[in-house]
Amino acid sequence: MNEVELEELRKRAEAALSKPAAYGPDVDVTQFSVPPPPTSYEEILSASSHLLASVGVDLTGRGSAGTYLQVDEEAVEVEVRTPGLRVLNLQQALEDGIVDGYLWRAVPVDADKYTAAAELFGRRQGYVVIAERGAKIETPVQACLLMSAPGAIQAPHNIVIVEEGAELHVVTGCLTMMERAGLHAGVSEFYVKRGGKLTYTMIHAWDEQTHVRPRTGVVVEEGGQYVSHYVNMTPTASLQTDPKVWLVGRGARAHLSSVIVAKGDSVMDVGGTVYLQAPDTSAEIVSRAVTKDRAEMIARSLISAEAPGVRGHIECDGLLLSNQSRILTLPALDAKHSDVQLSHEAAVGKLGEDQIFYLMSRGFSEDEATSMLVRGFMEVKLEGIPDELRRKIEMAISMAAAGL
Amino acid sequence: MLRIEDLRVTVDGREVLKGVNLELGASEIALLLGPNGSGKSSLIQTLLGNPKYRIKSGRILLDGRDITDLPANERAALGLGAVFQMPPKLRGIRLRDLLRRLAERSGADYQSLMKMAEEVGAAHLLDRDLHVGFSGGEVKRAEVLLLAAQRPRVALLDEPDSGVDLDSLPVLGKSIRSVISQDGDRAQERRSALVVTHTGHIAKYLQATRAFIMVDGVIKCYGDAQAILRDVEKYGFEGCLNCIFAEVRRD
């Protein structure tokens, strides 16, 4: 990108730096500092290896097609082990000129103060993963974003490009290893070209004092497919995200699932939006929210049907494990064409007493019955992803359930 | 083995059992008959320890031990097991996983359970969420499998034959028989069963010895299973009531 374009981005970001997000508690982004590079990555990594394992990251790189590891605002490991795959950090990709036309195209730089902060305070770190044309990369690429510095902002900017007919699986594990307030404002822009397929798995284990504001935009071309699975397992000061997916080519498909556990005093506002802009596109949004203690959870979803022959379905369930917590589900369907099929179902409540009794009558204690039912509630369909990845997600969900 | 003394029970303030007395001997298979709404299922749920069924008076004794106030899981640990008439749907809990966990506890042979699943036509249900989208007959097959995995000493079966088509009845009946009788590897143990049946169809596969007839929350009549089944078929439950009025016991 040339200087003029970069200057333009900077100006738009500056103008948006005090623009609050549409949803979620407002956070003063200026109170967080850009952290100095940590003195020893090895120490940080060895101290957090078990935490990393819990979010599906294996530092040995075994079972991964490639690895990207970022601590605070530094990319500390960038590795590729598979032909047809490229993994770089953003700065490198910009220098090489390979993400021109992709930076800030699926997420506007001036969307809100968090995108602005990512542009202004981020150090052009974040992963760039590219599956080359026709490359079927069945082993997942792992990316890990670790926050270690207290009071700091982490603003990685990630770009994933799946070229025509390629297939790519990315699993991102994000976590905090500190006990003081921090802000994660990651930007992710994904581009799935004709007939390509991207599955994106995100497992989060943040800290009770971390504010999390991921901003994600996805563009899917003709016959392409985007599948995302999101698991959040720990209490977080606040989390607000609403990934937006544009299906712009005929027959493109999207499937978004999320399993969110909100405990303690967490405030979470998790959405998903799919725009069906081309004929015969389809989308499914599935969410499972579990709240406990005093947590507040808003589960939003929107499917907007803007072309003929499109289909969309929202399934949005909430389980309250305490009387002081709250779940608000807001499934929305927007039809701008008559030849569409849109539907949603939502159910919110506590565990059924008849279900608990049934399992107890089979010999399980009340606690066992409860945890079996909670784990069962959190079960989501995991199709189209490699077995290894499925096991990781299932493990993460089990850990999240076990923590309840 | 199982003794019920003057049991009075309410649900949502409504009295559903009005002084039930019933005794089930060791190795006995008994039928519990009666018109709709007479309290048969309420009795089964009460015996299992469903907290919705509030015991106002009376006692339940298992092998002489008072289990009236025990929670359901402790009753199961003492040997009670059930086939539910209308079990809840358990989303996200696969039949196979539940069978495995139950077998681990009870010592039931998992491979034999898989074989039984084949025999009763439930193999296709193993990897589905329990009872979610099951037909009436499929619910019963899954329930019988779960009962087998529990290896109960006292089995309480609430209409195991309802919703089951007549063609599948013999094989399901045979499986139930193998779970509740003393055949097979646990011949030395004494097991009993109380089987609620509306139709009596299942009865001929179970070799039941006695039958009880429940009307309006009490046991009105009991006696030889075959004789009672014959009379009920001939005269209906009204006939049974007449027999009570005539003070004729059918022992």
On whether residue B207 sits in a domain, the answer given is: yes
The 3-state DSSP class for residue A190 equals strand
Q: Which of B75, B90, B113 to mutate to test the interface with A (most CBs of A within 10 A)?
A: B90
What pLDDT is recorded for position A43?
A: 79
* pLDDT of the residue at B248: 47
Q: Which residues pair with B222 in a beta bridge?
A: B212
* CA dist list (Å): A104 to A101, A109, A212, A239: 8, 6, 19, 22
- Rounded to the nearest angstrom, the minimum Cα separation between B73 and chain A is 4
Q: Is residue B250 part of a domain?
A: no
CB-closest option in A354, A360, A365 to B88: A354
Tens digits of residue pLDDT in B68-90 = 999 999 999 999 999 999 999 99
Taking 80 as the threshold, does the pLDDT of residue B187 lie above it? Answer: no
Contacts of B144 in chain A (CB under 8 A): none
- Could you identify the residue written with the tokens 């009558």? A361
User: Tens digits of per-residue pLDDT, A377-391?
Assistant: 999 988 788 888 898
Average pLDDT estimate for A18-27: 94
Q: How far apart are CA B98 and CA B120, in angstroms?
A: 17
B27, part of any domain:
yes
pLDDT-derived band at B243 (thresholds 50, 70, 90) equals low
Give the mean pLDDT of chain A: 92
CB atoms within 10 A of CB B93: 22
Q: Is residue B39 part of a domain?
A: yes
Per-residue confidence band for B61, with pLDDT thresholds at 50, 70 and 90: very high
Is the per-residue pLDDT at B27 higher than 50?
yes
Domain that holds residue B21: 2-245
CA distances, A343 to each of A289, A340, B219 (Å): 19, 10, 51
Query: What pLDDT sits at residue B182?
Result: 56
A265 contact partners, CB below 8 Å, separation of at least 6: A208, A235, A237, A293, A294, A295
- Measured distance CA(B161)–CA(B133) in Å, rounded: 19
Average pLDDT estimate for B224-243:
80
| pLDDT value of position A41 | 77
Is B231 part of any domain? yes
Torsion of CA B90, B91, B97, B98, to 10 degrees: -10
Give the span between the Cα atoms of B13 and A129, in whole angstroms. 65
Q: What is the pLDDT of residues A114-164, one digit of tens each?
A: 999 999 988 888 999 999 999 999 999 999 888 888 888 888 999 999 999
Query: Contact A358/B87, CB-based, under 8 Å?
Result: yes
* Residues A156, A116: Cα–Cα separation, whole Å: 12
Of A355, A362, A373, which has the smallest distance from its Cβ to B76's Cβ? Answer: A362
Residue B47 in contact with partner chain A when CB distance is under 8 A? no
Least confident of A50-59, A186-195, A341-350, B34-43: A50-59
Please answer whether residues B149 and B102 qualify as being in contact, where contact means their C-beta atoms are separated by less than 8 angstroms: yes
- What is the spatial distance between Cα A186 and Cα B28, in angstroms, rounded to a whole number? 68
In a domain, B94, yes or no: yes
Candidates B53, B67, B93, B150, partner chain A, best to mutate (most A CBs within 10 A): B93
Residues on chain A bordering chain B, Cβ-to-Cβ distance under 8 angstroms: 352-355, 357-366, 369, 372-373, 375-379
Reduced to 3 states, what is the DSSP secondary structure of residue B239?
helix
What CATH number does the domain containing B214 carry? 3.40.50.300
Q: Is the predicted pLDDT of residue B251 greater than 80, yes or no?
A: no
The residue of chain A nearest to residue B92, with distances taken between CA atoms, is A376
Q: What pLDDT is stored for residue A376 in this prediction? A: 95
Please tell me which of the candidates B71, B92, B146 has its beta carbon nearest to residue A362. B146
Q: Which residue of B50, B93, B105 is in closest CB contact with A363?
A: B105
CA distance B33 to chain A (A): 23
Question: Taken in order B168, B170, B171, B172, is the CA torsion positive or negative?
Answer: positive
Are B71 and A352 a contacting pair at CB < 8 A? no
Q: Which residues contact A127 (CB under 8 A, 6 or more apart)?
A: A68, A70, A75, A78, A87, A88, A89, A90, A143, A156, A158, A159, A160
Higher pLDDT, A36 or A213: A213
Q: What is the mean pLDDT of residues A356-362?
A: 98
User: What confidence tens digit (pLDDT) does each residue in A176-194 have?
Assistant: 776 667 898 999 999 999 9
pLDDT digits (tens, 9 = 90+) for A93-122: 999 999 999 999 999 999 999 999 999 988
Closest partner CB to A363 (pick from B84, B90, B150): B150
Instruction: Please tell me the distance in Å from A233's CA to the nearest CA on chain B.
Output: 18
Which tens digit of pLDDT belongs to each residue from B106-159? 999 999 999 999 999 999 999 999 999 999 999 999 999 999 999 999 999 999
Q: Which residues contact B239 (CB under 8 A, 6 or more apart)?
A: B231, B232
DSSP per-residue string spanning A15-41: HHTT---SSS----GGGSBPPPPPS-H
Specify the pLDDT at position A178: 64
Taking the CA of residue A257 and the nearest CA in chain B, the distance in Å comes to 15
Q: What sign results for the dihedral spanned by CA atoms B60, B64, B66, B67?
A: negative
Closest CA to B101 of B157, B145, B49: B145
Q: Which of B77, B88, B129 sits opposite A358 (nearest CB)?
A: B88
Please report whether residue B128 resides in a domain: yes
Give the closest-approach CA distance of A378 to chain B in angstroms. Answer: 7
**Among A235-239, A240-244, B8-12, B242-246, which stretch is predicted with the lowest mean pLDDT?**
B242-246
Model pTM score: 0.89
- State the helix-helix crossing angle for B110-119 and B169-180, rounded to 10 degrees: 160
Cβ distance B51 to A373 less than 8 Å, yes or no, reads: no
Residue A404 is classified by DSSP as: -
The interface predicted TM-score (ipTM) is 0.94
Q: Is the pLDDT of residue B249 over 80?
A: no
The chain-wide mean pLDDT, for chain B, equals: 89
Residue B250: the pLDDT is: 47
Structural domain includes residue B251: no
User: Considering only CB atoms, which chain B residues are within 8 Å of A362?
Assistant: 76, 81, 98, 102, 146, 150
Question: Phi and psi at residue A249, in whole multiples of 5°?
Answer: -120, 150
Summarize the confidence of residues A314-323 as an average pLDDT. 96
Transcribe A91-137 into DSSP letters. HHHHHHT-STTTTTTSS-TTSSHHHHHHHHHS-S-SEEEEEPTT-B-
Where do runs of H (alpha helix) occur along A229-302? none
Q: 3-class DSSP state for residue B132?
A: coil
Task: Name every chain A residue with its beta carbon within 8 A of the beta carbon of B91.
Answer: 376-377, 379
Instruction: Tell whether B145 lies on the interface with A, counting CB pairs under 8 A.
Output: no
CA-nearest of A290, A146, A277 to A220 is A277
> Do residues A398 and A392 make contact, with C-beta atoms less than 8 angstroms apart?
no
Q: In what order do the strands lie in the sheet with A74-80?
A: A74-80, A66-71, A141-147, A167-176, A197-205, A225-232, A253-262, A282-291, A310-320, A340-349
Say which residue the tokens 């940590």 belong to.
Answer: A38
Per-residue confidence band for B246, with pLDDT thresholds at 50, 70 and 90: very low
Which of A114, A131, A103, A146 shows the shortest CA–CA distance to A197? Answer: A131
Q: Which two tokens stand for residue A44?
A: 């940080």
Q: Is the separation of the CB atoms in B138 and B64 below 8 Å?
A: no
With an 8 Å Cβ cutoff, are A363 and B102 in contact?
yes
Domain count, chain B: 1
Q: Is B146 an interface residue toward A (CB < 8 Å)?
A: yes
Cα distance between residue B122 and residue B141, in whole Å: 6
